[in-house]
């Protein structure tokens, strides 16, 4: 981005990008309630830079929700590549049919579904809760 002069600084751009990072309404409290129930092994699979990923983990206290982070910046794989889902299954040793992968993009669900995971394309908080309830998942 900074291979040519810009009207903003690197630090200004960084601050702007970090400020854009906001949770969608209701999602973090719901995820926290699921984690607090102690019934679920929650992990996350995402595509992010190391800096943004670490920022979000800290800012939103994600270590208190997710037990493992399969982030592209850590594992060298990205969604929708099938190997990132395979890695998550192999390292946790959970059978695919006992796992559910949620994402807002259909393309990111394909690899998880091919491996036998349940998948939910998230469109809203209520729809996500309803789809999870059909799988017996709730806080």
How does pLDDT run across 6-34, given as a tens digit for each residue?
888 888 888 888 888 888 889 999 999 99
| pTM for the whole structure | 0.86
Our count of domains for the chain comes to 1
The whole-number pLDDT of residue 18 equals 87
Residue 93, pLDDT > 90, answer: yes
- Does residue 104 lie in a domain region? yes
Name the band, by pLDDT with cuts 50, 70 and 90, for residue 139.
confident
Q: Domain for residue 12, yes or no?
A: no
Provide the pLDDT for residue 65.
97
- 4 located within any domain: no
CATH of the domain at 65: 3.40.50.1000
Asked, for residue 139, whether it belongs to a domain, the answer is no
Q: Which two tokens stand for residue 50?
A: 């190391």
- Give the pLDDT confidence score for residue 2 in this predicted structure: 78
**Phi, psi dihedral angles at 66 (to 5 degrees):** -100, 140
Handedness of CA 127, 38, 96, 58 (dihedral sign): positive
pLDDT greater than 90 at residue 99: yes
């Amino acid at each position: 981005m900074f291979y040519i002069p810009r009207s903003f600084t690197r630090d200004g751009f960084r601050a702007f990008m970090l400020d854009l990072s906001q949770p969608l309404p209701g999602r973090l409290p719901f995820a926290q309630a699921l984690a607090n129930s102690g019934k679920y092994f929650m992990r996350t699979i995402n595509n992010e830079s190391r800096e943004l990923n670490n920022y979000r983990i800290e800012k939103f206290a994600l270590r208190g929700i997710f037990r493992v982070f399969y982030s592209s910046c850590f594992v060298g794989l990205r969604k929708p590549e099938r190997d990132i889902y395979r890695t998550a299954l192999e390292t946790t040793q959970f059978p695919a049919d006992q796992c559910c992968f949620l994402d807002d993009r259909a393309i990111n669900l394909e690899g998880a579904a091919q491996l036998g995971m349940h998948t939910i394309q998230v469109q809203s908080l209520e729809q996500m809760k309803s789809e999870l309830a059909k799988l017996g998942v709730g806080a």
